[in-house]
């Protein structure tokens, strides 16, 4: 064609686009396989559409190519004519050095695709951490953790560490050996003075120590000897001027009316004195003895009717023969009906006792139970035994004392007349219950007694005295004993399923 370079013209006598290469078969266009019916249905042109794409399809946005770099940038960073990739540094390629700063320390550096900006990008296999191929003692495992490989540690470093450990051990052992050789043993005996507490102990008024110090001189131990046997108990001085001492009947009853029997009172200062029986009352378990010794300390007597449950109390006596023993506790119950039957004595009493958890043991009988002011509010008499009240085999925290109001009245009668007077209803009873109400069942009635005169019959059940409920035989006896002979009381009695009221005048027991 006119105007074209002769280098691009077809040689004369040749037909076709290009001259066939000798020895090479003419290239064939690749055959495209026909689409399947499914492909035709999915990707074929609809019958109503002409052309490659629908006419309403928006034209794709035209890509704006970035402007060519400035000529100065090309001159500075473009490769030299006829070269590609990284160029040699000025001055030629440096020598082969295994350093991180030398870019050409590997022979295949020019062909490294990571160094050739013109190399094509491709996705290769994941990185493989070959611990064997890593140099140095610190390697990186597959999880990216750095760890020390002991077998690659320097021999010199290992030797230095071993020598350091040996040196430190040798120095420590030498110092210990030297100190043990130079430190001599201290003398076994020497004169010394131990430290003492400088401030004194404060014992406030009302403390157990204060109460014991004030009441102890008024409490005595009582020794009873009858033939070759003996027993011990306690007592409280109620009249120091005349030598009167209150105790329990069961403590001294064995010596009553027995020739050769001896009763002796031992005081807090260790001195002793013979004692005589002034009077005793088996119905209340109260007795009074007398010693001929002037100047005795008299105990202060309080009022048991003012006690409330929870008041602190202190018991003082000679349990098990241990004179001057002090125990403490509280009032755990009031007006507790307790039947007393002193072993080996004629005691047969029912008292409205003060119950306490202050430990009371055999030998405490007749001793003092005092309140926080140091006043005697009861005379210790019994502890609860396994089978009931008594003085042996007791349960912990269950002790009983005769209220001082009762003791005072009986002691005054014994000192005045030698005997005490009690009221009686003239009936014998036992405790019963029908499941809903408790009472005292009348077993027999004394002929011509107060009960018989009032119309009480056998099988009657007494459930109240002067509108105060009676729930047992002991409670009935305590309620009657709270009155004097000649007093009239109103009894509520259940007879044949119905309740009736009966008035009875009490007689002397």
pLDDT at 337 over 80: yes
CA–CA gap between residue 401 and residue 382 (Å, rounded):
7
The catalytically annotated residue of 231, 285, 371, 481 is 285
Tokens found for residue 455: 């119309």
pLDDT in tens, 205-234: 878 999 999 999 999 999 999 988 888 999
Query: Is pLDDT above 70 for 56?
Result: no
CA gap 202, 62 in Å, rounded: 106
Secondary structure (3-state) at 76: helix
Could you tell me which residue, 110 or 422, shows the higher pLDDT? 422
Say how many C-beta atoms besides its own lie within 10 A of residue 460's C-beta: 23
* Three-class SS state of 49: coil
Residue 427: strand pairing partners: 445
Q: Is 365 a catalytic residue?
A: yes
Backbone angles phi, psi at 219, to 5 degrees: -110, 135
Q: Rounded distance, CA 474 to CA 341, Å? A: 13
Specify the pLDDT at position 346.
83
Sequence length of the chain is: 509
The model's confidence at residue 81, banded by pLDDT at 50, 70 and 90, is low
The segment with the largest mean pLDDT, out of 180-189, 196-205, 241-250, 434-443, is 241-250
pLDDT at 18 over 80: no
Q: How far apart are CA 411 and CA 64, in angstroms?
A: 130
CA 255 to chain centre: 54
CB atoms within 10 A of CB 162: 10
Percent of the chain surpassing pLDDT 90: 49
CA dist., res. 476 & res. 428, Å (int): 10
Helical segments of 459-503, H only: 473-481
Best CATH choice for the domain 205-420 from the list 2.40.10.120, 3.40.50.720, 1.25.40.10, 3.40.50.1390: 2.40.10.120
Over 60: is that where the pLDDT of 17 sits? no
Nearest Cα to Cα of residue 476 among 489, 464, 492, 484: 464
Is 422 annotated as catalytic?
Answer: no
Poorest-pLDDT segment among 78-82, 134-138, 157-161: 134-138
Q: Quick one: tokens of 204?
A: 């406030």
Residue 161 pLDDT? 86
Domain boundaries, given as residue ranges, for the chain: 205-420, 423-508
Cα–Cα distance for residue pair 246/249, rounded to 1 Å: 9
- The active-site residue, picked from 284, 318, 328, 365, is 365
238, pLDDT greater than 90: yes
* Average pLDDT estimate for 332-343: 86
Architecture of domain 423-508: Roll (2.30)
Integer Cα distance of 233 and 223 in angstroms: 7
> Mean pLDDT across the stretch 265-281?
94
**Least confident among 14-23, 256-265, 380-389, 459-468:** 14-23
Residue 131 in 3-state DSSP?
coil
Closest by CA position to 428, among listed 440, 413, 416, 412: 440
- Catalytic annotation, pick one of 231, 234, 250, 253: 250
Rounded Cα gap, residues 194 and 192, in angstroms: 7
Q: Is 250 a catalytic residue?
A: yes
> How do residues 132-145 score in pLDDT, each as one tens digit?
555 555 666 666 66
What percent of the chain stands above pLDDT 70? 71
Please give the Cα distance from 217 to 241 (Å, whole number): 14
Is 205-420's fold the same as 423-508's?
A: no
Sign of the alpha-carbon torsion through 463, 469, 475, 479: negative
User: What's the mean pLDDT in 421-447?
Assistant: 92
pLDDT digits (tens, 9 = 90+) for 390-400: 445 556 788 99
**Residues 6+ away with beta carbon under 8 Å from 474:** 337, 338, 339, 350, 431
Q: Region 249-258: what's the mean pLDDT? A: 90
């Amino acid at each position: 064609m006119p105007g074209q370079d002769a280098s691009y013209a077809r040689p004369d006598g040749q037909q076709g686009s290009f001259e066939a290469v000798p020895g090479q078969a003419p290239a064939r266009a690749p055959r495209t396989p026909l689409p399947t019916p499914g492909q035709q249905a999915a990707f074929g042109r609809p019958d109503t559409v002409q052309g490659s794409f629908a006419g309403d399809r928006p034209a794709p946005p035209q890509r704006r190519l970035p402007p060519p770099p400035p000529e100065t940038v090309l001159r500075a960073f473009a490769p030299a004519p006829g070269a590609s990739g990284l160029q040699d540094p000025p001055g030629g390629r440096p020598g082969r050095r295994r350093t991180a700063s030398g870019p050409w320390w590997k022979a295949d550096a020019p062909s490294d695709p990571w160094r050739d900006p013109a190399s094509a990008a491709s996705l290769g296999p994941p990185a493989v951490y070959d611990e064997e191929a890593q140099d140095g003692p610190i390697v990186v495992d597959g999880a990216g953790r750095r760890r020390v490989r002991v077998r690659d540690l320097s021999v010199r470093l290992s030797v230095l560490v071993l020598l350091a450990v040996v040196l430190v051990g040798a120095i420590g052992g030498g110092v210990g050996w030297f100190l043990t050789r130079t430190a001599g043993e201290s003398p076994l005996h020497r004169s010394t003075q131990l430290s003492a507490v400088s401030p004194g102990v404060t014992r406030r008024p009302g403390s157990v120590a204060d109460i014991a110090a004030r009441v102890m001189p008024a409490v005595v131990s009582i020794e009873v000897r009858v033939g070759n046997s003996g027993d011990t108990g306690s007592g409280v001085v109620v009249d120091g001027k005349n030598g009167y001492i209150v105790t329990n009947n069961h403590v001294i009853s064995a010596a009553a009316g027995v020739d050769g029997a001896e009763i002796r009172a031992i005081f807090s200062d260790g001195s002793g004195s013979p004692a005589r029986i002034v009077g005793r009352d088996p119905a209340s378990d109260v007795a009074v003895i007398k010693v001929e010794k002037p100047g005795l300390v008299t105990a202060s007597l309080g009022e048991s009717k003012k006690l409330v449950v929870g008041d602190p109390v202190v018991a003082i006596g000679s349990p098990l023969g241990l004179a001057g023993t002090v125990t403490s506790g509280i009032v755990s119950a009031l007006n507790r009906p307790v039947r007393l039957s002193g072993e080996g004595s004629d005691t047969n009493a029912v008292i409205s006792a003060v119950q306490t958890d202050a430990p009371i043991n055999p030998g405490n009988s007749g001793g003092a139970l005092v309140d926080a002011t140091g006043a005697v509010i009861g005379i210790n008499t019994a502890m609860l035994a396994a089978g009931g009240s008594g003085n042996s085999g007791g349960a912990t925290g269950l002790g009983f004392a005769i209220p001082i109001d009762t003791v005072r009245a009986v002691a005054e009668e014994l000192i005045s007349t030698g005997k005490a007077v009690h009221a009686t209803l003239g009936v014998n009873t036992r405790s019963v219950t029908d499941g809903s109400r408790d009472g005292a069942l009348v077993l027999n009635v004394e002929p011509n007694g107060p009960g018989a005169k009032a119309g009480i019959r056998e099988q009657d059940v007494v459930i109240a005295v002067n509108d105060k409920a009676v729930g047992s035989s002991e409670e009935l006896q305590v309620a009657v004993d709270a009155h004097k002979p000649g007093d009239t009381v109103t009894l509520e009695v259940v007879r044949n399923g119905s309740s009736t009221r009966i008035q009875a005048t009490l007689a002397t027991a």
